[in-house]
Structure 1
Amino acid sequence: MSELHNLMNIGSYIEEKLYAAGIYDEKTLRELGSKEAFLKIRTMDDTVCIRVLYALEGALQGIKDSQLSASDKADLKAFFKSL
């Protein structure tokens, strides 16, 4: 795989999803952002849940997904519900 598994919250499951979506490295993930990366994953697997979105955002912020701020979670939840 790639170095993505070294990021916070990115285990083998999410790393495989990212890789399958054409996201092979941290630079690409950062350029896309959590929402766009999630959309790429969701295009291939419409069963992915909001926890993956939280994990991606946490990875970009360098924190555990459980430590995302309430406002970040609310924003991500609204985005997820809009899909």
Structure 2
Amino acid sequence: MIKKGRIESITQLLDPLGAIKVRTQFGGYSLSVGKAVFAVVSQGELYLRACEASKPYLCERKLQTLQLQKRGVPVRLDYYRVNETLWREPEQLLAISRLCLQGAREHNEQSKQARGMRDLPNIGHQLERLLREAGIGSVNMLRAQGAKASWLKLRALNKHLGLNTLYALEGALSGFYYQALPGEVKAELRSWYETKIAQLERERCR
């Protein structure tokens, strides 16, 4: 059982980050500002949630990762335990915690955008993942690119993507499941696709 005073001392130290909420999680407690969970307290130890910006600092200090048991199998989470050295550097600890909080906020925003993408017709988890890999991470970005330009970016990552993916993207933007796209739209897309495939093949053979 974690003593209440331990939680209070941690939240007081991190108070400059904002109003910290404490909830039960992972058999311990999660720390969040708003809806962004940036740390957990497990067995009295503070673990910071790594992100792209904070991970180099956390790994450089060779901090221990949080490990939980899932169905009897140990699972390591991307949370790093604050050691005694870092506790003795409260300003540095606060700076790294701020990076973790910002990373958690960015993760939440990306997840929100991804959910928005998957609300579109034809956009399942796999296509949403490919779009993100191609740098198209939101509905607005997909609309700005358009179906054809988005398909070209996806095709650059996966040469096996074909006409149905182009139909799926156009349907997502126009509100149709790709099977229900109007015939004239499909015909125009097919013509463009065949021309573009021929062009790509010529470039490959050069």
The aligned counterpart of 1:57 is: 170
User: Are 2:166 and 1:46 equivalent residues in the alignment?
Assistant: no
Corresponding residue pairs, total: 83
User: Are 2:133 and 1:20 equivalent residues in the alignment?
Assistant: yes
State the structure with more CA Rg.
2
The aligned counterpart of 1:76 is: 189
Q: Aligned partners of 2:129 and 2:162: how far apart in 1?
A: 15
Q: Aligned partners of 1:20 and 1:81: how far apart in 2?
A: 25
Q: 1:30 aligns with which of 128, 133, 143?
A: 143
Higher relative contact order (CA 8 A, sep 6+): 1
Deviation at 1:64, TM superposition (A): 0.8
Q: Which runs of 4+ in 1 moved over 2 A?
A: none
Higher normalized helix content (fraction of residues): 1
Residue 34 of structure 1 aligns to a residue whose secondary structure is helix
Instruction: For residues 10-69 of structure 1, give each alpha carbon's deviation from its aligned partner in whole angstroms, at most 9, with x where no partner exists.
Output: 001111110110000000100111000000000111100111110000000011111111
Unaligned ranges ≥5, structure 2 = 1-110, 198-206
Identity, in percent, stands at 35
Q: Aligned partners of 2:189 and 2:126: how far apart in 1?
A: 20
Please report the TM-score for the alignment, with normalisation by the length of structure 2. Answer: 0.39
Q: Aligned partners of 2:164 and 2:126: how far apart in 1?
A: 12
The aligned counterpart of 2:15 is: none
Q: Aligned partners of 2:135 and 2:127: how far apart in 1?
A: 12
The aligned counterpart of 1:11 is: 124
Q: Aligned partners of 1:5 and 1:33: how far apart in 2?
A: 16
Please report the TM-score for the alignment, with normalisation by the length of structure 1. Answer: 0.94
Q: Aligned partners of 1:79 and 1:52: how far apart in 2?
A: 13
